[in-house]
């Protein structure tokens, strides 16, 4: 504990997200040590009171809790391995985006160094950090999470998903997959309407309303996935596969690419060929979990 009453924390990685994380800790009064490969990225944080470490090991030594937020898993290993001995007896929270397998490997590596490990997935963009809309998913050592929960609360709402360190990454990539699906659909829609010079800003409220209406069907689809009852309720798959061809043909007619759309057509066709034509879209989930013949 320090004069501020807040425990010290270290942030390694000062890209757009790392700087937002360190800034949120400083805002809450945590003595904050930082390190980044490109030292100049720490300048603004230093002006706000952060201590700039010369090496990752020096940064880790400054706090019981180190938060790492680097570009990818390769960067995490490259930065932490030379500082491994300093991790003993400390907690490492890794908020770098990665796969569940990478999270489990890093957890095993950290345990080998005598460190507690918590993996995390940030469901926010940098300006949201520290605000009411930010959610950070965690998994791994429950004791380490509980011990540092108050500090981590500076970043946003904190949700611990379980002891398996791979869970946070699994939820993170699942949520990002949903997000990119939505963005891909939006970009295709805007490319189509722009092909007739409809301003994107004029068309977008219609897209948002339509997606909002369709989003209401997600809980029913989820129930069908869980129960295995894929009975169609008015929009059978065979009809949808036939209509989907028009989405591709219209794109070609308008001179718009189809690369975002082709994979869904292949999946719909596979579903019909596998005998799911009378059923609902929800049967695609089971199909996705089996490789195409």
Q: Which residues contribute to the site for ligand FVH (CB under 6 A)?
A: 13-18, 36-38, 41, 69-72, 75, 78-79, 96-97, 122, 125-126
Closest CB to ligand FVH among residues 70, 271: 70
Q: Name which of 33 and 268 has its Cβ closer to ligand FVH.
A: 33
Least Å from the CB of residue 18 to ligand FVH: 5
The DSSP result for 244-290, as a single string, is: HHHHHHHHHHTT---TTTHHHHHHHHHHIIIIITTB-TTHHHHHHTS
Q: How far apart are CA 189 and CA 137, in angstroms?
A: 31
Instruction: Enumerate helices (H) and strands (E) in the chain, giving the number of each.
Output: 12, 8
Burial of 231 per CB tally in 10 Å (0-12, 13-18, 19+): exposed
C-beta closer to ligand FVH: residue 99 or 188? 99
Q: Minimum distance from CB of 39 to ligand FVH (Å)?
A: 8
* Closest CB 260 distance from ligand FVH, rounded Å: 21
Q: Is the Cβ of residue 17 or residue 251 nearer to ligand FVH in the bound state?
A: 17
Do 36 and 50 touch, CB atoms closer than 8 A? no
d(CA 69, CA 250): 43
Q: Toward ligand FVH, which CB reaches closer, 78 or 252?
A: 78
Position of minimal CB gap to ligand FVH: 15
Bridge-based pairing of strands 51-52 and 116-123 is unpaired
CB of 178 to ligand FVH, least distance (A): 14
Minimum CB separation of residue 111 from ligand FVH in Å reads 22
- Residue 169, CA distances (Å) to 60, 102, 175, 291 in order: 23, 9, 10, 23
Nearest distance, CB of residue 175 and ligand FVH, angstroms: 10
Q: Which of 78, 88 has the CB closer to ligand FVH? A: 78
State which residue, 23 or 277, has the beta carbon closest to ligand FVH.
23
**Distance between CA 215 and CA 213 in Å, rounded?**
5
In the beta sheet, which residues pair with residue 140? 118
CA gap 166, 138 in Å, rounded: 9
Type and span of the H or E element at 119? strand 116-123
Total residues belonging to the chain:
293
Closest distance to ligand FVH from the beta carbon of 121 (Å): 7
């Amino acid at each position: 504990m320090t004069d501020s009453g807040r425990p010290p924390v270290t942030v390694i990685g000062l890209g757009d997200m790392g700087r937002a994380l360190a800034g949120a800790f400083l805002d809450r009064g945590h003595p904050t040590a930082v390190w980044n490969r490109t030292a100049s990225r720490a300048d603004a944080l230093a002006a706000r009171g952060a201590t700039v470490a010369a090496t990752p090991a020096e940064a880790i030594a400054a706090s019981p809790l180190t938060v790492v937020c680097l570009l990818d898993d390769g960067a995490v290993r490259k930065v932490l391995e030379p500082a491994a001995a300093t991790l003993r007896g400390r907690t490492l929270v890794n908020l770098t985006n990665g796969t569940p397998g990478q999270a489990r490997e890093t957890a095993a590596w950290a345990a080998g160094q005598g460190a507690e490990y918590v993996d995390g997935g940030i469901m926010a963009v940098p300006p949201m950090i520290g605000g009411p809309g930010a959610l950070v998913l965690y998994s791994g050592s429950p004791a380490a999470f509980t011990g540092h929960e108050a500090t981590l609360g500076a970043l946003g709402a904190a949700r611990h998903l379980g002891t398996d360190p791979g869970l946070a990454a699994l939820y993170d990539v699942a949520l990002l997959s949903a997000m990119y699906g939505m963005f891909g659909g939006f970009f295709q829609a805007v490319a189509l309407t722009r092909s007739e010079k409809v301003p994107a800003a004029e068309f977008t409220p219609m897209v948002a309303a339509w997606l909002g209406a369709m989003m209401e069907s997600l809980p029913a689809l989820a129930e069908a996935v869980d129960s295995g009852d894929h009975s169609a309720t008015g929009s059978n798959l065979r009809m949808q596969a036939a209509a989907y061809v028009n989405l591709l043909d219209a794109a070609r007619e308008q001179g718009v690419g189809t690369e975002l759309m082709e994979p869904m057509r292949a999946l719909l066709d596979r579903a019909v060929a596998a005998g799911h034509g009378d059923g609902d879209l929800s049967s695609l989930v089971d199909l996705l979990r089996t490789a195409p013949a």
